[in-house]
Amino acid sequence: MLQALSGYRLNSLCIKQGGYIVAISERGGVLGAMDTMYQRGKIQEESMYYEQKKHDGSLPLIGVNTFLPKDHGGEIATEIELIRSTEEEKGQQIENVQAFGKARNPLAPDSLKKLQITARERKNVFEQLMEAVKYNSLGQISHALYDVGGEYRRNM
């Protein structure tokens, strides 16, 4: 029974994924689909679908919409203390990032350029990204990629 059920679920998943593969192929492959923001739209649709099912209870999630404590009265409100960094902590972190840059940037001065070239050529950036993080801060890497592809703007 379990094997038949898992086979059914696997089959339905494959059919659903097959539809996505056909849709991506019709848009000229992954890069064409990225240009038309197909994947981003699908992720947003699936996210909304999931949230709606969670909200209406048709997707039971233990501790979120089922098996809640009896004394919560329908809503669980928790007070979370917001912790802010002091000016001293912020300054220390800035100094840490600058020290990291001074120590590590000279070891591979062309790592960001290689990352940008790989991104411009629309190749897989994973290998260059893994190399760049050894020598550059997140901010440096982000700005290098912004220069190539622009900054993400949420689709409203």
pLDDT 10s digits, 52-65: 988 888 888 777 77
| Structural domain contains residue 30 | yes
| Structural domain contains residue 51 | yes
Give 74's pLDDT tier (boundaries 50, 70, 90). Answer: low
The reply to whether 98 and 37 lie within a common domain is no
| Structural domain contains residue 155 | no
Q: What is the pLDDT of residue 5?
A: 44
Question: Does 8 score more than 80 pLDDT?
Answer: no
Question: Does 1 score more than 50 pLDDT?
Answer: no
Mean pLDDT, rounded, for 73-87: 75
Measured from the Cβ of residue 133, the count of other Cβ atoms closer than 10 Å reads 15
The DSSP output letter for 72 is: G
Task: State how many domains the chain has.
Answer: 2
* Burial of residue 132, with CB atoms counted within 10 A of its CB: 0-12 exposed, 13-18 middle, 19 or more buried: buried
Mean pLDDT, rounded, for 3-25: 64
| Structural domain contains residue 132 | yes
| Structural domain contains residue 82 | no
Q: What is the pLDDT of residue 93?
A: 94
Question: Does 126 score more than 90 pLDDT?
Answer: yes
What mean pLDDT is reported for the chain?
Answer: 82
Q: Is the pTM of this model over 0.75?
A: no
Q: What is the pLDDT of residue 102?
A: 94
The reply to whether 7 and 63 lie within a common domain is yes
The reply to whether 102 and 144 lie within a common domain is yes
- The more confidently predicted of residues 132 and 24 is 132
| Gap between the Cα atoms of 119 and 132, Å rounded | 13
| Structural domain contains residue 142 | yes
| Structural domain contains residue 127 | yes
Mean pLDDT, rounded, for 76-103: 88
Domain that holds residue 108: 87-149
Tokens of 155: 């689709």
| Structural domain contains residue 143 | yes
